[in-house]
């Protein structure tokens, strides 16, 4: 999942045209240059533009770009993998293995529900009874939210390490 890139379009007020969205810092730098050249600052504005949760490009109001309409991004911060399945939370195969390894408590919860379904005579590809499906998705959502949280904590650790070694300005 790509977090909001804080894109803005530097716009002349009342203009019918939309300028190309850019990161806020670079728009503010342009604005400062315009000010230095003595332009009337009242005539310019920074218009926020949403970024696509799948790829980070400028997005429509549903936080997807044109290419990624109908896609669900992996919950892991920075991951660009998506699925065409409609789900609230998706975890790609690689991150599933990394964050929810075989034998983990999360997998045991899902395996237990799958065993219950099997005992009742349902296969994995069949629809299960409503209450069992609801339990499955509740468990899945909780696990995916936890994966997301852990992935953001990981990113904070990386930022911390960069600061410790004085790499703050790189990458």
**Residues of the shown chain interacting with Zn ion in the complex, contacts defined by CB under 5 A:** 52, 54-55, 57, 65, 68, 74, 76, 79, 81, 92, 95
CA pair distance 138, 130, nearest whole angstrom: 12
Query: Of the two residues 9 and 52, which places its CB atom closer to Zn ion in the complex?
Result: 52
In DSSP terms, 51 is beta-bridged to 58
Query: Of the two residues 10 and 52, which places its CB atom closer to Zn ion in the complex?
Result: 52
Shortest spacing between CB 65 and Zn ion, in angstroms: 3
Going from the C-alpha of 61 to that of each of 31, 52, 58, the distances in angstroms are 25, 9, 10
CA pair distance 126, 132, nearest whole angstrom: 12
Shortest spacing between CB 58 and Zn ion, in angstroms: 9
Shortest spacing between CB 34 and Zn ion, in angstroms: 30
Going from the C-alpha of 65 to that of each of 54, 142, 154, the distances in angstroms are 8, 27, 27
Shortest spacing between CB 28 and Zn ion, in angstroms: 25
Query: Of the two residues 22 and 76, which places its CB atom closer to Zn ion in the complex?
Result: 76
Query: Of the two residues 15 and 88, which places its CB atom closer to Zn ion in the complex?
Result: 88
Collapsed DSSP state (helix, strand, coil) of residue 22:
strand
Going from the C-alpha of 85 to that of each of 74, 88, 162, the distances in angstroms are 11, 10, 36
């Amino acid at each position: 999942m790509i977090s909001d890139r804080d894109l803005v379009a530097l716009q002349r007020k009342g203009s019918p045209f939309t300028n190309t969205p850019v990161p806020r810092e670079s728009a503010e730098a342009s604005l400062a240059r315009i000010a230095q050249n003595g332009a009337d600052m009242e005539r310019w504005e920074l218009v926020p533009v949403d970024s696509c949760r799948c790829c980070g490009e400028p997005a429509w109001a549903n936080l997807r770009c044109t290419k990624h309409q109908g896609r669900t991004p992996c919950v892991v911060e920075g991951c660009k993998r998506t699925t065409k399945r409609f789900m609230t939370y998706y975890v790609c195969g690689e991150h599933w293995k990394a964050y929810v390894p075989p034998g983990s408590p999360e997998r045991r919860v899902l395996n237990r529900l799958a065993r219950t379904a099997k005992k009742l005579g349902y296969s994995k590809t069949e629809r299960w009874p409503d209450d069992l499906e609801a339990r499955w998705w509740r468990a899945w959502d909780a696990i995916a939210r936890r994966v997301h949280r852990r992935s953001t904590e990981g990113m904070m650790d990386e930022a911390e390490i960069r600061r410790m070694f004085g790499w703050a300005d790189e990458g």
